[in-house]
Every structure is written in C-alpha cells, then in structure tokens.
C-alpha cells in the first residue's frame, strides 16, 4: 500500500529535484502566524521529496507525538497512522485529484482546494475521523504542485471519504464518486436571508427558543427553518449544517 500511494503521487505530480519556481523567503512565518490564530492543525508539504516543511503544534494531527517528530517523519507519518482501508482511499483520491488538476488552466490552479475525511490512529491505537483540507502554495515551472498548505480538523461526518473540490470565487463544486472515481460538478446550495440568519444564530450557541425570541417568531418557525436548511444542504443535523456552511463559505 505504501509503495502504491507513493508511486501514484510521484507519477501524477512528479517534480524532480529542481522545481524551478520562486519561493518567498519568509513564507513559513506566515504559516506559523496562522497556526497561532487557529485551533486547527496546520502543515506544509513539499512534493519534491514528500517531506513536511512545517508542522504546527496543534495536537490533533500529531497523534500523540511532537511537532518535531511528525516533521521528521514526513509523508511516512501517514503509513504509520492511517488504517489500511483509508490508505486505499487516499490512493484513490490522490490519483483522481491530480487527474482533475492536470485538466485545469495553469493560471487558475492556485484557486482550487480539496477537502476529504479519513481516520488517524494515535499512539494509543485510538482512531479519530479527521477532515483534511489542501490547497497549493507554489507551482513549479510546469504548473505542477510544488508545495501545499494543509489544514486538519475534526470531521463532522460519520464515515471517511466526502471528497470535494472548491474553486475560489466560484459557486461550483466537484464531488468525487468513489464507486467510479469520477467528478460530479454542481453549484453550491444557497440559503435564504432568514435561513442564513438562523444558521448564524445557531453558530453563536443560541437555542431554538432564544433564536425565536431574537427573530420575534415562535419556536416552531425556527424548527421549520432548520428543516429547510437541512434539506438544502443535504445534512442530518445542525453540527453538519454549520460545518458544511463554513467550509463552503455560505456563512
């Protein structure tokens, strides 16, 4: 499995030893500053040799190790801390992701990001379903991904997968069908002004009754808007709705 994943990554995005692109000298200082401001785990991957340039000390991604230990492990970290079935998932989505990326105009490639869920196993053997987001930082002279910024947080789904690509400034999204490895394009769902308001009030921690008081309606009206939100976003609960809306930049 390890060889398959490495082979897929290096074949689809093979860079060689000379990326041939300019890299700002202090770009890692920006990553470190961002890590100080977010609860999410953050790291930077270099596809030249599948190493990590930076790993934040946020604990979720570290699986009980220090940031320095994970930094030293590089991409091998995954082979020790991702279960075999999810490694197969990573192999599939990496191949599909790089195939998708190769079809894009070179001038647009930095605008895209991908998100997906898989399990990490900590040093005590406990599995945690995490959400992984990745976006290119630098491209080489051929337009291939040289370095990428990755963010890790708790997944709000129940199962691994949920692979989706976003384009900055666009309402279009692409979902990967894992049964046939094909991308399906659709538009992000939209919410009405009142539905968005209800969702934002939930994000502030208000209860249904408190939201009803704030909006000067009865609680049943708030429940109606909640059902509409769930239907529009195709989710089952408010936690999933908030996660979807935030990730999709709906709110």
pLDDT (tens digit per residue) in 98-118: 999 999 998 999 999 999 999
Q: How many angstroms separate the CA atoms of 119 and 88, rounded?
A: 12
Residue 244 pLDDT: 84
Contact 188, 173 (CB under 8 A): yes
Name the band, by pLDDT with cuts 50, 70 and 90, for residue 239. Answer: confident
Domains observed in the chain: 2-187 (3.30.450.20), 193-247 (1.10.10.10)
> CA nearest 163: which of 230, 227, 99?
99
Mean pLDDT value across residues 78-94: 93
């Amino acid at each position: 499995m390890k060889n398959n994943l490495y082979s897929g990554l290096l074949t689809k995005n093979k860079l060689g030893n000379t990326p041939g692109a300019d890299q700002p000298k202090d770009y890692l200082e920006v990553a470190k500053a961002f890590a100080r401001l977010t609860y999410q785990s953050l790291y930077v991957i270099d596809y030249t040799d599948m190493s990590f340039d930076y790993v934040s000390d946020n604990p979720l991604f570290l699986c009980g190790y220090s940031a320095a230990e994970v930094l030293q492990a590089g991409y091998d970290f995954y082979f020790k801390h991702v279960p075999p079935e999810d490694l197969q998932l990573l192999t599939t989505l990496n191949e599909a992701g790089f195939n998708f990326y190769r079809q894009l105009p070179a001038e647009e490639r930095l605008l895209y990001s991908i998100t997906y869920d898989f399990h990490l196993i900590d040093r005590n053997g406990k599995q945690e379903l995490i959400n992984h987001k990745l976006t290119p930082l630098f491209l080489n002279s051929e337009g291939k991904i040289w370095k990428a910024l990755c963010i890790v947080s708790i997944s709000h789904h129940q199962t691994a997968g949920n692979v989706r690509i976003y384009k900055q400034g666009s309402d279009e999204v692409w979902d990967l069908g894992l049964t046939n490895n094909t991308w399906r394009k659709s538009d992000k769902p939209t919410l009405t002004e009142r539905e968005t308001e209800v969702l934002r009030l939930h994000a502030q921690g208000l209860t249904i009754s408190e939201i009803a008081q704030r909006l000067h309606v009865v609680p049943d009206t708030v429940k109606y808007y909640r059902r509409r939100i769930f239907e529009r976003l195709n989710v089952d609960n408010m936690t999933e709705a908030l996660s979807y809306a935030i990730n999709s930049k709906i709110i």
